[in-house]
Structure formats: structure tokens, C-alpha cells
Structure 1
Amino acid sequence: MAHLLRMPGVTADATEAFLEAWEIAEGDAFAAEDTLATIETDKAVVEIEAEAAGTLLRILAAPGMTVPVGQAIALLAEVGESVGDIDAILSELAPTAAAGSEEASGSVVVEVEDGEPRAADGRAERLGSPGSDTAVGARPGQGGPTSRVFASPLARRLAKEAGLDVTTLTGTGPNGRIRRRDVDAALERRADRPPATAEMRPTASGAGQDLGGRRGADVLDPAQRRTSSEATYDLVEHTRLRRAVANRLTQSKQTIPHFYVRGSARVDRLVRMRAEINASSPVKVSFNDLVLKAAAAAHVLHPGMNVTWAEESVRQYHRVDIAVAIAGDRGLVTPVLRGVESMPLTGIAAAVRDFVQRANDGKLRQDELEGGSFSVSNLGMYGTEEFSAIINPPHAAILAVGAVRDEVVAVKGRPKVRSMLRFVLSADHRPVDGALAAAWMRTFVEILEHPLRIVS
């Protein structure tokens, strides 16, 4: 029996998701566990898989739309099912979906009148809103035919964000369809030209204003540089990921009582052991991989650290799951390694590399970004000596790792040059006491200074 496919709730607190792409077309058959569509949450790209075989009858939400959780996005039929009037079925199952199905699945002709996009039937059409391919018409002369320019939803969205008029673009797709590559090409051509500027003056709110009294952001192309007598700057819109990270970390600092424990370890033995491992292993091990393994070992010896805070109780875990902070091309993400205490070093190294690659490609799964009780953030590759990190809720702590540096230290009363590694542990004072955090740091440092304990 025909049924609706609805936008899933990929996280417990999710209210909407961004529909990135449909992997099959209307009328296509699919098998169980085939990917029907991909959606994007605040942190990851998630695939919607078919629960059973069937046919995609109609797409109700086009790529580029932000869809509330639970809203119908497609009409599906079972294998071998004969479907007659699709509109009648939609009217019965979801009247609102039936009403919007024409806009979602068909092409809408839009005419430009006095600079205002309007649908061919006279209704105002939101040209910049997500939908399917939209045919945009421009009248070359009064009474002349309407020429159609077809643009994909992604191309229209990117063009709008960059301040481009899609009617001025040349499409390279089928039937002149404007695609992302056409928008990118237009932006490259525009970048080769000197940016337009306007005389601006600061307003009381700090925003630029031209001498005509209009806000500078409304006058200038948002992708071009704003100039004033006092400052030159660019406006970079927040991504969903950036907003999510900002909200999460703001909540962390406002609601979690942070305290900090600092430590340092002599890692000469660790440096030599890493060199020996990498000399024979096909998978190269980083210092961060060694830190992850040592942290897991310290958690096993201090299980009171392997916890998260809940309103009614403290949850103490049997397995050590550690989140790894990755500053990928798309922003900061923290995928979780499961059971680090039982993973070999090469397994940790391979898993982290896989996380980094898929983070840059936007292919991390939502379940990989959830769970854990502890995080590790490493800025040592940038030469950072020491820093403090913000706890990633609901974790109980996060370890900030600096760079390995040669320092002069006292060894048996004499100055010696040793390789040193510095750490700052940020802990949640609700489930973790100061004495416990200090004991954990001492154990962690001892493990790093006697690295055979990591591989034993």
C-alpha cells in the first residue's frame, strides 16, 4: 500500500533537517536498505535508507529544503503495487503534501515583471526558496515569448547566497539547466574583476550605511568586501555546523562548572617507542593516538572519570568511549572512538584517519558523533604549548594536548634537555571531584612516561 516517507528525527532534540539530495528519481524502484536520500544535520550527513523494497512515486520535498521532522518528503509504493491517481492518494494521506506536490516535483514558470519574480499564473513566487528545478523567464520585449531558464535547487540557493541573478547565468546541464558548476564559474569570473565599492558611513549599530540612507548590506553584494573609513571586513554567513558548535559551547560554559588540572610528562621514551612502531608498521601512529590510548588506560584505573552527569543520577560506563576533536574543512566535529581501552594502537590510528577523511567529506554518521564521556583536543601540530578546552556536553571532561617540546629540566639535580608534553584537563565539578581529577592526571602522566604500559 502506498505510504508517506517522512523526515526522520536523527537526534533526540532535532526539530528539522536539511534535505541535501535524492539518490533516486521519481518512478525508480529500490531495494531494502538502498539509500533514498541524504540529509544534513548540524553535524553530519545522514543517509535515509529504505526499510523495504518499493518504488518512489513522487518527491514532496526538493533538495535544498529545510524540512521539519515528521513532515512528508516522498510518496512510496510497495513492490508490484499498481497506483492510479497519485494526487488523490496524497489528498487522503496528507492534504498539505498534495497541495505542495506540484511545486516540489514539477517545474514552475516564473516571469520577471518590473524586477519582481512572479509565477506564470500571477501568484508571487519565492524564487530564492528551495524547490525543484525552476524555470525563470525574462521577457525580452513586450508581448514576446517567455524564455525559460532551468536551475537546480542547489544552484539557485548558491546563486542567491552569492547575490547572483540566475537569469544572467548560462547553464551547461541538459536543456541549458543551470548547475552548481555554472554558479561556481560565475563566481570565479566575478572574483577576477575589481570588487564594487560604495561610500559608506558607520551607523549607531555599527553597520555600514551609504549616503542614500540605505543599509550597506542591502546595497553591496554580500559576497564582496564592505569598506568604510574605519574598517574593511567581509561578512561570512554562519553555517549550520558553526551555529551548532557555538550554541553547544555557550551552553557548556553557562551550565557546567569547569575546573582545570594541569600536568606535564617527559616523553623521551614515548618518542622513541613511536619511532620504533612506525619503522615497521604500515599504519603510522601519531602522538595523539598514543595520548588516546593512555587516557583510556587511565580511565580504566579511575572509573570515576568515565561518567556523565544527568539530572537524577551519574552514569558510569563500562567501556571507554573517547571523542576526538577534528577541525575539518567543514568545521569542528567530535566523532567518538568506541572501546578505546581494548583497541590496538594501529587500530586507533586507522580509525582517527578515517574520521578525519570523512569529516572533510561530510560523511560522518550521526551515531558516530554521539556518546562518550571524555574528549581529547590536540593543538600540538600548530606548536601550541598549552591551552584550556571547553567541555563537550554531556562529557565529564576534556583533555587539551599541547606540542612536544625540548625543555631544560632538572634530572637528579642537574639541568638536562628532555622532550616535554603539557596537558590541561577541564573537568565538570558536578560528577568529578578535584582529587579524582588530580589522581587521574598523575596516572595519565605516569603511563606516558612509561609507555610500555600503553601496549601491554
Structure 2
Amino acid sequence: MPINILMPALSPTMEKGNLAKWLKKEGDTVKSGDVIAEIETDKATMEVEAVDEGILAKILIAEGTADVPVNQPIAVIAGEGEDPKSVTGAASGGPAPKAEATAAPPAPAPAAEVPQAAPPPAAAPMPAAPAPAAKPNGAAERENRVFASPLAKRIAKEAGIDLASVQGSGPHGRVVEKDVKAAVAGGAPKRAEPAAAPKAAPAAALASSLSSDQVKAMFEAGTYEEIPLDGMRKTIAKRLVESKQTVPHFYLALDCELDALMAMREQINAGAPKDKDGKPTYKLSVNDFVIKALAIALQRVPAANSVWADDRILRLKHSDVGVAVAVEGGLFTPVIRKAEVKTLTAISAEMKDLAGRARNRRLKPEEYTGGSTAVSNLGMFGIKDFLAVINPPQGTILAVGAGEQRVVVKNNAPAIVQAMTVTLSCDHRVVDGALGAELLAAFKVLIENPMGMLV
């Protein structure tokens, strides 16, 4: 019986993928473990290995096809003894393939050819509503304030009678019990129910209140270029909008002096052994110290080493620290696992490997998911301080600014030190203000006394 090859789910959040390339063609023999295709996910290009053996009888989805749903058949393998030529479509029993392969999105037309959206036809003017008849003196006041006995009010409320329509027979026109009962028997007007309040617009609608056509109509044709969104940019946009809408962010900032760290870094790098070409085998960066310091700080403040899990909090045993890496068209956050037990040189080497493969989009999903926190460093761009957006389900993210010389007061006298500003974004559901401050204080101690990272 023919065997379907399905579009695999290569990451926990993957719903669709692009079939980038077939590495086998129809008629080729396929063995278990053979790499048969390359799939582009929202974050990386992954190789797909065959699980079954046989002959690749039919390719159902052509290479270059975008947005193929997970679990849709993409090819069929003919089993032992079967004629591959007899296979014409997906095998029965699996998910039915679409009638046609999803075509890659067409290239956008040049901006000059984009037609302007025609304005909607003007609505016909509505006839003016007739002005309400003037009420006699005292009528408006009577509508707003009706004199009635407590019992009359209760009976009117239960019967749904509008007290303003009941003629009172009590002193000074007060409505009493018998007036309301007479009104009920005579079919007095019912009290109007208050109009239901309009429902709030859903968050998704608010987030995308303007369509692409509405935005384009604000600009003259030919003055812009349309850039289609790839899978990575779509995922970044979706996740970060969800983060800002659903995660209660708050921010804590402080300054860390770097003089001791910079001196120790220079000493360690100067003592690095050389390879056969005479180049040092490692070169520590400030970011390597930041990763290590944050990992140890999480061990010293274990309650902050936590993530949000819908109806509970998960407190992690190890410090898994994500590090934001800018790539063309987006961002990766590879995770350094168990960073608290790794040496600075091990963190440096692992970070270089992960960053290199991230830029080539060759990371595996397990290498950029998870972690309880992350580091985003824009210091190399001269940014002094900024507020980073938390990547759920992580509980925090540390924004690191540039190291610079600053004047501070020491022993009642001005002194020049090298310092940087760090800002911790916290998910208030996981990390409260005092807990976040405790974590940041532990981080500051390690940065300013870096020997603590070596013992």
C-alpha cells in the first residue's frame, strides 16, 4: 500500500511551511534516514528525513510552494512490490491533499501600478429627525423624579410598569399602591429596558484596525515599495503583539560599573592560547560575562527563574538564557542551556556557533525555544538604554546598553568610571517588583565583582 509523506511539524508553533527544495525525484529509491527535502519554517530551513522505505512514486507538492499546512501529504512512496507508475495521488487513509498545490505568492506589482482604492460612495443624507415636542412645565422634572410610596415602587418594578406614566392619587400627586395596581390592570406602558452596551472590539481587531489598502491610500502611488512578509517576520509580528497585549510588562533599570570586568576580560583574553595559525583560541566579549552573570543571579534568586504556564508557574532548576541575535529580516534567540555551570570560554564558543548558524537559518527548534530569560544587547550600536519585549513564556528579558565613561560621586568627590545601564523587563504574573529588583541587584554584584563568576 502506498505511504504518504506528510508536511512535518518542525517546531512547536509551526502551522505551515514552505517546501523549499526536493532532494529526491520521482522514481528514486528512498531509505529510512535519507534526506528527501528542505522545508522552510518561520525560523529556519530544516532537512526532512524519510521514515519509510520504497520508491518515491509521486511528488504532490512542487518545490517552491509556500504555506503548506502541517500534516498535508507532500509526496507518496510506493511500497515493496508496488508499481510506482500506478500511484496517482495521496494514499487513502491519510489526510486528503488539496486539489492543487498552494502556489507561492505572486511578486507584488510595481508600486506605480497599484490602483488607488476608490473612495466609498457618499451616503445619501438622512432626513433631519423632527424636533421633539416641547414638554409642559414640570413634565421633564416629573419624568426624572416620580413621587411614589416604597410599596408602589416595588409593585411597579415587579410588574415592569413605568411609574412616570401612572397618575398618582395620593397627597401632592404621590403614586400609591392602588394607583399602580390600577395601572397594571389597565395595561399601562412597560418600562423600557436599557440598551445593551456595545461589546468591546476584540484585541486582534484593534491590533489591525487598518487594512493594507487603507494604509496604501494614505500615500501617493509610486512613492513606496511593497515588501511581502516572510514566515519569520509574520511570526515575530504575531508573537510580540500577543506579548504586549497579554503580558503585563514592568521595567527596572540600574547602572553597573564595568572597570573591574573590563580589566579581567583584558587579562583573560591576553592569556588565551594560540592555535597553529597564531590566533587566540578564544576572545571573551562583554556579552559573555552578561550571560554568565544573569545565569548565576537566577540561581541566587531562584524564584525569578520561572516561566508562565497558563494556570501555573514553572520554576526551573537550571539557568537557560536566550540571547537575541539579529539576522537579515528578523531575529533569533538561541538558548544557552545550563549557563550557570558553563565556563566563560564555553559560553563564548557556544554563542559564536549558535549565532553563526542563526544567521544562516540553520538552528534546530530546540536550540531557540525555552529558557526562562533572555539578553538583548544593543550596546554595540551605541544605545544607552531601551525597553525589551518579553518573549513568552519567559518571565524576564534583560536589555543591555552601551558601556561608556561617566562621572560619578565616590568618597564625596567626582570620579570617572566606565558604566552601562541595564533594564529588566518583567512579566508581573511571574516576577513581582521586589523579586525583579532582587534579581537585578544580584546581577549587578556579579558584574561589578566578576571574580564571583569564576568560583
Q: TM-score scaled by structure 2?
A: 0.71
Query: What residue in structure 1 maps to residue 140 of structure 2?
Result: none
Give, in whole Å, the separation in 2 of the partners of 1:307 and 1:343.
20
Structure with more strand by fraction: 1
Letter in 2 for 1:73: I
Distance 1:294 1:199, change over 3 A: closer
Distance 1:389 1:90, change over 3 A: closer
Q: Does 1:29 align with 2:53?
A: no
Cα distance, 1:449 vs structure 2: 0.5
Q: How does 1:258-407 map to 2 (within 5 A)?
A: 258-281=249-272, 282-407=281-406
Distance 1:200 1:311, change over 3 A: closer
Query: What residue in structure 1 maps to residue 136 of structure 2?
Result: none
Deviations 1:358-380 (A, max 9, x none): 22212111221211110110000
- Contact 2:57–2:85 at 8 Å: present in 1 too? no
Give, in whole Å, the separation in 1 of the partners of 2:240 and 2:85.
50
SS of 2:295 mapped into structure 1: helix
Deviations 1:171-213 (A, max 9, x none): xxxxxxxxxxxxxxxxxxxxxxxx99689989769xxxxxxxx
Cα distance, 1:95 vs structure 2: 9.1
Distance 1:395 1:197, change over 3 A: closer
Give, in whole Å, the separation in 2 of the partners of 1:430 and 1:227.
42
Give, in whole Å, the separation in 2 of the partners of 1:405 and 1:308.
33
Distance 1:434 1:36, change over 3 A: same
Query: What residue in structure 2 maps to residue 455 of structure 1?
Result: 454
Cα distance, 1:350 vs structure 2: 1.7
Distance 1:197 1:291, change over 3 A: same
Query: What residue in structure 1 maps to residue 193 of structure 2?
Result: none
SS of 2:345 mapped into structure 1: helix
* Alignment partner of 1:242 out of 219, 233, 239: 233
- Give the RMSD, CA atoms, in angstroms: 2.9
Unaligned runs of 5+ in 2: 121-211, 273-280
Letter in 2 for 1:9: A
Give, in whole Å, the separation in 2 of the partners of 1:41 and 1:89.
25
Letter in 2 for 1:50: A
Query: What residue in structure 2 maps to residue 126 of structure 1?
Result: none
Q: How does 1:196-235 map to 2 (within 5 A)?
A: 228=220, 232-235=223-226
Distance 1:85 1:92, change over 3 A: farther
Letter in 1 for 2:406: E
Letter in 1 for 2:264: M
Distance 1:30 1:309, change over 3 A: same
- Contact 1:330–1:362 at 8 Å: present in 2 too? no
Unaligned runs of 5+ in 1: 105-128, 131-156, 164-194, 206-216
Letter in 1 for 2:249: H
Cα distance, 1:258 vs structure 2: 0.8
Distance 1:258 1:75, change over 3 A: same
Query: What residue in structure 1 maps to residue 242 of structure 2?
Result: 251
Q: TM-score scaled by structure 1?
A: 0.70
Identity among equivalent pairs (%): 37
Cα distance, 1:268 vs structure 2: 0.5
Deviations 1:149-171 (A, max 9, x none): xxxxxxxx58x4165xxxxxxxx
Distance 1:234 1:85, change over 3 A: closer
